[in-house]
Amino acid sequence: MRRRVVVTGMGLITPLGQSADETWQALLAGKSGAAPITRFGTDGFDVRFACEVRNFDPLNFMDRKAAKRTDLFAQLGLAAADQAVSDAGWDTSKPAGSRTGVVIGSGIGGIQTFEEQCAALLEKGPRRVSPFFVPMFIPDIASGLVSIRFGAKGPNYCTVSACASSAHAIGESFRLIESGKADAMITGGTEAPITRLAVAGFGNMKALSMRNDEPERASRPFDKGRDGFVLGEGAGVVVLESLEHAQARDANILAEVVGYGMSADAYHMTQPVPGGEGARAAMQECICDRGIDANAVGYVNAHGTSTPLGDIAEVTAVKAVFGKHAANLVMGSTKSMTGHLLGAAGGLEFSVCVKVVQTGIIPPTINNDDPDPECDLDCAPNVKVEREVELAISNSFGFGGHNVSLAVRRFEP
């Protein structure tokens, strides 16, 4: 028997806001989170802007001593997990126990700590490397810290699959619950890649937009003038529970998870397969997972990074999966506003899908001023769309050819 799995809590720390509601309202308003980088001086950099999380204070979630021993990526993840658990209405006065697990994905982990400690080693010698370097840097530490915070002794690990990391985390958590290996999971992703090394690396591989003079217009999925993605940071965490577990505690159920599909391109380190074969396979598996009706899908939150090849491949894949129905659905990209949160993107965008099926409102894809004729599906260009959506799909595709699709449905008891 495969148990039904529902979403009962959400937490978001993003370039658009420091809560799920604040982020959602900014998305509906078509607000861009892109601006000149403030984290470090950008002289000599080809790309000088990003989607930073502004005014984040870790002391709202931990004491000063703990903050000094925790990389920003883990701080963001802990903050989002706190919000998600609070939103789910959990009683945190007692440990969550062995039937509750944590899977938090991250593509890069503590790269800020990595840079700082490499500088300490090279400039001051090995004795100046912090004893906290390893536990601050490793990508799984966010999942471990969330487990410690809530006393969750069930399955606990980290998924690392580049930009598909948190989508894999949510999908694997879904599997753990439906198979009976856990009753509840705290899951999603976190990332803090706006550092000198990461910006230089992504910039030098020509993956990033170069619109330094107009950052807010730089991320333009499906637009003819797109020239790369905008680097973002943040965290998206949700609480998943078996339906029985949620109902037993009279939880407020936000949506139901009804599909998980994954595949590999097996093609190229960074480029998608022309024609989107891998993306198509992930979406098809997601739809077939629980036999959902493809014609009932009203919204696809596209991976939609604003890269020349990626957007076309994904549109082609959606057309192949949905056939004539592709013309009836909205395939939008919230990355036009948030930038690309890399390993945290799936957690954020899955949460967007939950909000869409809840509210019947679809966020716009901003900066879609000159649509690419090869990207001819409705992306809700520049203006939100109000439409009842029963089913929504979130796509996440990562460097290395990792593809994940997740499906959520409006909850019906």
The tens digit of pLDDT for each residue in 201-251 reads: 999 999 999 999 999 999 999 999 999 999 999 999 999 999 999 999 999
The pLDDT of 401-407, averaged and rounded, is 97
User: How far, in Å, are 3, 139, 147, 377 from residue 257 at the CA level?
Assistant: 11, 26, 22, 25
- Mean pLDDT (whole number) for 48-75: 97
Instruction: Indicate the burial class of 221 (C-beta count within 10 angstroms; 0-12, 13-18, 19 or more).
Output: buried
**What is the C-alpha separation between 296 and 359, in angstroms, rounded?**
16
**Residue 241 · residue 252 · CB < 8 Å:** no
- pLDDT range class, residue 1, cuts 50, 70, 90: confident
Q: Which residue has the tokens 């840079």?
A: 115
> Which residues are part of the catalytic machinery?
163, 303, 340
Q: What is the pLDDT of residue 221?
A: 98
- Which H or E run includes 85? helix 72-87
The residue type at 41: G
For 14, 224, 306, 320, 393, the CA distances from 279, given in Å and listed in that order, are 26, 22, 16, 10, 12
Mean pLDDT of 164-187: 98
SS3 (DSSP) at 125: coil
- Residue 413: pLDDT band (50, 70, 90) is confident
Domains parsed from the chain with CATH numbers: 5-248 (3.40.47.10), 260-409 (3.40.47.10)
Please give the share of the chain, as a percent, with pLDDT higher than 70.
Answer: 100
Mean pLDDT of the chain: 97
Question: Taking phi first (over 0 means left), then psi (-120 to 50 degrees means alpha), and beta for anything else, what does residue 272 get?
Answer: beta
Q: What is the pLDDT of residue 37?
A: 98
Q: What pLDDT, in 10s, does the model give residues 288-341?
A: 999 999 999 999 999 999 999 999 999 999 999 999 999 999 999 999 999 999
Give me the pLDDT at residue 118, please: 97
Please compute the mean of the pLDDT values over residues 39-48 and round it to a whole number.
97
Can you tell me the mean pLDDT for 167-180? 98
Q: Distance from CA of residue 351 to its chain's centroid?
A: 8
Rounded Cα distance between 251 and 243, Å, is 9
Return the amino acid letter for 231. Answer: L
d(CA 133, CA 72): 13
Mean pLDDT computed over 261-275:
93
pLDDT tens by residue, 81-132? 999 999 999 999 999 999 999 999 999 999 999 999 999 999 999 999 999 9
- pLDDT value for 276: 94
